[in-house]
Amino acid sequence: SLTEASTLRVESLSLGVKRIVFARPDVRNAFDERMVQELRDALDQLAGIADAQQMRLLILEGEGKVFSAGADLGYMKRLAEKSEAESFEDAKTLAQLFYRLADFPTPVIAVVQGAAIGGGLGLAVCADYVLAEEDARFATSEVLLGIVPGVISPYIIRKIGLGAAAPMMMTGKRLSASEAMELGLVQSLTHATERAAALQDVVLEFLAAGPEAVRRTKALLKEAAPLPGPELIEFTARQIAQALCSQEGQIGLESFFSKTA
């Protein structure tokens, strides 16, 4: 392991492939303040490897049955109890995580089993390639709780366009892996039993390219489809903070907590 972290593992594989494994399977790899910080630190460390041969490809995986169910309950409760100003700062911290992932200098492959919900979906849409198990589900369920898919929204729109993103984000409905593939959110499907072999095939496709050329191409893509600027990041973070502190958001979260308690 490259870093000491309690919520994830960073692994160095052969041929310059690195892997970050979310290691909170007991809470379906949902994240809290610590995981957000550890993931940001891991991405910074790996992005800092300047040698294109040493850092060629990043794989994101979740341990257990679920890729990531978004923000965990304890974290959500703490957010709901904060002032709007504190919620705004927390949302900006989360926004920086997604920015770092979308801004990563090499290709990023996300392997999704079970579900990618809310912030978990954010991690998937910031990747360049999503390999999904056929029974995986994808959703931004925030509006169903009276809150908003704030800081991840620019990345969803960047990945699948407004036509596909608007109904998904405004209804909060769950998409099957095949529906997500039709929208361009998922690039290929696999059976659980064939996941390792399918991932290896995808990795080899990416490794066939020149490492320097791939980094240059990723830079081109970021220019052609720009990442959100500071103003948009501030705006999306403020929308989350306002929604969390609104009457509707507080009622929605309260009923959600009472159902899951």
Q: What is the DSSP string of 36-103?
A: HHHHHHHHHHHHT---TTTS-EEEEEESTT-SB-SB-HHHHHHHHHS-HHHHHHHHHHHHHHHHHHHT
Beta-carbon contacts of residue 50 (< 8 Å; ≥ 6 apart) = none
Catalytic residue (choose from 33, 142, 205, 254): 142
How many angstroms separate the CA atoms of 93 and 124, rounded? 18
Q: Helices 33-47 and 84-102 sit at what angle, rounded to 10 degrees?
A: 30
**Running DSSP on this structure, what letter comes out for residue 170?**
H
Neighbours of 68 (CB within 10 A): 29
Name residue, tokens 């891991």.
42
Question: What are 129's two structure tokens?
Answer: 């390639």
Q: Is 212 in the active site? A: no
Q: List strands edge to edge, sheet with 129-133.
A: 8-12, 17-22, 57-62, 108-112, 129-133, 188-190
Task: Please identify every residue annotated as catalytic.
Answer: 142
